């Protein structure tokens, strides 16, 4: 191989090494951000509940600052407009029961909890459907638009795989609806269903593994560049 050609390969490997090292640094930064997020979320979960944000605060709500914040709201459930979203939980497969809660200022979708397939029909859990004003406390969750992995929500067929607030509000003909939903806490419902308090707070953290992988590939690229540059004709 001629020296100019070796120099070209060495330069390409050097550029690759820099890019790979940059990816490694990015993963280190992501890891630090993830750890800060976990600390913040743990503090929110343990804090006293605050009033569910109203329309004046909706534009400022995001996952970073508000997800899993404990909130409370008082209103009347519209059980006739509930939505079942497929779920897999520690109790097995079934559905989340999302019910509109009409408050004096806006409608709030509340994930009242889990029901197994045998309790899919509202008539099988009528005891848990309160008719009067109720106060709900739970965790604020950001909307899950679109659907789940390889599964799109199908409002026309009433098949839901994710808790897409905007799509559910439209399908159920709700009025002014908060852009988030609330996972109800473990306060028992009459009759035992739905079962609340099953929120799983978990953040995947593979950033260190990814960072080490990128740095290792960067080191290999540097070694390749060095070999190309110093090899003989």
Dihedral pair phi/psi, residue 89, rounded to 5°: -130, 180
Bridge-partner residues for 76, per DSSP?
A: 102
Q: Quickly state the pLDDT bin for 67 (edges 50, 70, 90).
A: confident
DSSP-assigned states of every residue in 31-86:
HHHHHHHHHHHHHHHHSPPEEPP-GGGGGG--HHHHTT-EEEEEEEE-GGG-EEEE
Give mean pLDDT, residues 175-185.
Answer: 95
Closest alpha carbon to 124 in 102, 153, 95: 95
Structure tokens at 186: 């473990």
Closest alpha carbon to 107 in 189, 42, 182: 182
DSSP-assigned states of every residue in 82-149:
-EEEEEEETTEEEEEEEEEEE-SS-EEEEEEEEEEGGG-SGGGGGGG---S-EEEEEEEEE---SEET
- Spans of all domains in the chain: 3-40+206-230, 69-192
Give mean pLDDT, residues 212-226.
Answer: 86
Closest alpha carbon to 81 in 172, 18, 146, 175: 172
Give mean pLDDT, residues 108-114.
Answer: 96
Residue 39 above 80 pLDDT? no
Strand, helix or coil for residue 195 = strand
The 8-class DSSP code of residue 155 comes to: G
Average pLDDT, the chain: 87
Q: From CA 189, how far away is CA 129, in angstroms rounded?
A: 8
Q: From CA 32, how far away is CA 50, in angstroms rounded?
A: 28
Can you say whether residue 38 is alpha, beta or left, with left for phi > 0 and alpha for psi between -120 and 50 degrees?
A: alpha
Element (H, E) at 23: helix 3-46
Query: pTM for the complete prediction?
Result: 0.73
Residue 232 above 60 pLDDT? no
Q: From CA 73, how far away is CA 134, in angstroms rounded?
A: 8
The predicted-structure confidence for 121-139, as pLDDT tens digits, reads as follows: 988 998 888 778 999 999 9
């Amino acid at each position: 191989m001629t020296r100019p050609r070796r120099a070209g390969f060495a330069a390409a490997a050097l550029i690759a090494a820099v890019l790979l090292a940059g990816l490694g640094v990015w993963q280190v930064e992501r890891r630090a951000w993830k750890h800060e997020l976990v600390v913040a979320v743990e503090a929110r979960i343990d804090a006293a509940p605050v009033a569910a944000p109203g329309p004046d605060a909706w534009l400022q709500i995001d996952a970073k600052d508000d997800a899993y914040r404990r909130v409370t709201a008082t209103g009347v459930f519209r059980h006739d407009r509930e939505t079942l979203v497929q779920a897999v939980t520690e109790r097995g497969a079934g559905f989340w029961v999302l019910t509109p809660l009409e408050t004096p200022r806006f409608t709030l979708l509340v994930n009242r909890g889990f029901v197994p397939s045998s309790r899919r029909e509202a008539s099988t859990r009528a005891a848990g459907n309160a008719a009067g004003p109720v106060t709900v406390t739970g965790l604020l969750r950001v909307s899950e638009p679109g659907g789940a992995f390889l599964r799109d929500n199908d409002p026309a067929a009433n098949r839901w795989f994710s808790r897409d607030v905007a799509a559910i509000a439209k399908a159920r003909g709700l009025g002014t609806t908060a852009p988030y939903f609330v996972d109800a806490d473990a306060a028992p419902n009459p009759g035992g269903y739905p079962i609340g308090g099953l929120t799983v707070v978990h953040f995947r953290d593979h950033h260190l593994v990814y960072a080490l992988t990128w740095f290792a590939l960067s080191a290999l690229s540097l070694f390749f560049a060095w070999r190309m540059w110093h090899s003989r004709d």
